[in-house]
Structure 1
Amino acid sequence: MKITIEGASPEFERKLLDLLAEHRRELTVAVDTEWNADRAARYLRTLPSSARSFLEEVVKGKGYADAAALRDLFGSLRGPTIALSRAIPRGVKAGWWPEGIAAPVQAVYDPANPSWQRAIGYSMDKAVLSVFIDALWDVFGNGPGDPRAHMDPEQLAEVMIREDAEALRREEEREARPGHPPAIRWADTDDVPSALDILDGEDQ
């Protein structure tokens, strides 16, 4: 028997995992350890600002940020990286995601110098990157790329209406300036802009 449960509360998920643990010898259990929109949003909300900014730099770099550049921005990376790491077990304890989920940001070490354990960069898997790009827009209203790509149809329609109204307002202000020529208008039967709008006041 295979059962798929979606939309469960953290409390329900915790109780279900406890129940499965009791019967683990009888069952084959596959736990979803992938990042999704809800988990990413919860993760971001738990982070202090420095750790969230650190993660955003990795996202802005399309899944990679050079450690030297990050040190220029943050100084010591110990604080942000510890906060990123500690958020994982805290979320497991709260029931926000299962044990075994991978940290979204991973340290990258120099393969040519394995004994030197100082990170040369920080990376994010492509699938995880896509989830966190959406989460940054959804939770904080900012992120890389075009925000319209992260809007539902109603939100997009509202934005377009506001932009059209703003464009009309700017055009009306422009035409109201002293000495500014009026915008070219079209008569109902014209195939070209009305000549009067172009030649008004000129000798013909």
Structure 2
Amino acid sequence: MKITVTIDHPTHDFQQRLLALLAEHASEVEVDATWTPERAEQYYRSLPQRARRIVKLCVAGDGYVASEDLRDDETTSLRGHSAALKRLLQRGALRGLWPENIHPPITPVGPGFGKVVGYGMDEDLVPAFFTAIRNVETEPEEWAEHRLSQAAALEGAVRAQGGTWDTRRAVTALDDAGHKAGDKRVRQILRDLAASGLLVKTDSDRAVYDTRV
């Protein structure tokens, strides 16, 4: 038997009693620890403005944002954000917004020793957080600008280099231009360039295009 229970704004007393009941039957209860759009929105609303920017640009990059895209200047450090994001996750679990065993939606990427070169998010979580950001911010200008800069960089590479383009080549070209983007985002840009007439698709089953002459 499978029972799904959704409780909006539970009182503290009810929440504690429910958690105690679930703990009593822990061996028989499977907690849903997935990031739904509702949970993603609660998470995003709880973030301070600078942390929101990290999540926003990570989603805009289909799961990755480089440190260079986050710094206001060359001296701005990204240290300290990881601990803040971890505390937020813990506070949300205490409030019953998500289960304690839910995985962090965004994690620092780096060689270690406190150095952070960017932030990553599982591509499967991007749609939920895309919806969350759209619900919270009616005009995410910086987010849109980030996506436009990716598209402009790839268009410039296609025009300059010509030839055949697939996902791997496009990812490499963006990386060379200082932009990190996931496969989904790159495939969308390639489709947009084909719609604009710059590229023509040459393989019906794969994302392979040739420069239109």
* TM-score for both structures, normalised by structure 1: 0.59
Cα deviation for residue 22 of structure 1 reads 1.8
In structure 2, distance between residues paired with 1:88 and 1:34: 13
Corresponding position of 2:158: none
Cα deviation for residue 83 of structure 1 reads 2.6
Corresponding position of 1:78: 79
* TM-score for both structures, normalised by structure 2: 0.57
In structure 1, distance between residues paired with 2:131 and 2:58: 14
In structure 1, distance between residues paired with 2:30 and 2:101: 11
Q: Could you list the runs of 5+ residues in structure 1 that have no partner in the other structure?
A: 146-204
Corresponding position of 1:19: 21
Supply the AA of the counterpart residue of 1:8.
I
In structure 2, distance between residues paired with 1:132 and 1:62: 10
**Residue 109 of structure 1 contacts residue 119 of structure 1 at CA under 8 Å; is this kept in 2?**
yes
49 and 79 in structure 1: CA distance in 2 versus 1, 3 angstrom threshold: farther
Please give the secondary structure, in 2, of the residue aligned with 1:57.
helix
- Identical columns (%): 39
Supply the AA of the counterpart residue of 2:76.
G
In structure 2, distance between residues paired with 1:78 and 1:134: 28
Cα deviation for residue 10 of structure 1 reads 4.7
Cα deviation for residue 60 of structure 1 reads 1.6
Cα deviation for residue 88 of structure 1 reads 0.2
In structure 2, distance between residues paired with 1:96 and 1:129: 19
**Residue 10 of structure 1 contacts residue 94 of structure 1 at CA under 8 Å; is this kept in 2?**
no
What do the CA deviations read for 1:19-75 (whole angstroms, capped 9, x no partner)?
A: 010233xx4221111111111111111111111112112112121011243235691
Corresponding position of 2:135: 138
Corresponding position of 2:31: 31
Cα deviation for residue 116 of structure 1 reads 5.0
What do the CA deviations read for 1:138-173 (whole angstroms, capped 9, x no partner)?
A: 11213457xxxxxxxxxxxxxxxxxxxxxxxxxxxx
Matched, 1:119 2:116: yes
Cα deviation for residue 79 of structure 1 reads 4.2
Which shifted more, 72-81 or 119-128? 72-81
Q: Answer with 1 or 2: which has the greater Rg.
A: 1
Cα deviation for residue 13 of structure 1 reads 5.8
Supply the AA of the counterpart residue of 2:102.
I
Cα deviation for residue 122 of structure 1 reads 1.1
Supply the AA of the counterpart residue of 1:76.
S
Q: Could you list the runs of 5+ residues in structure 2 that have no partner in the other structure?
A: 145-213
Please give the secondary structure, in 1, of the residue aligned with 2:28.
coil
Matched, 1:8 2:7: yes
Cα deviation for residue 103 of structure 1 reads 1.3
**Residue 41 of structure 1 contacts residue 139 of structure 1 at CA under 8 Å; is this kept in 2?**
yes
Supply the AA of the counterpart residue of 2:130.
I
Please give the secondary structure, in 2, of the residue aligned with 1:78.
coil
142 and 34 in structure 1: CA distance in 2 versus 1, 3 angstrom threshold: farther
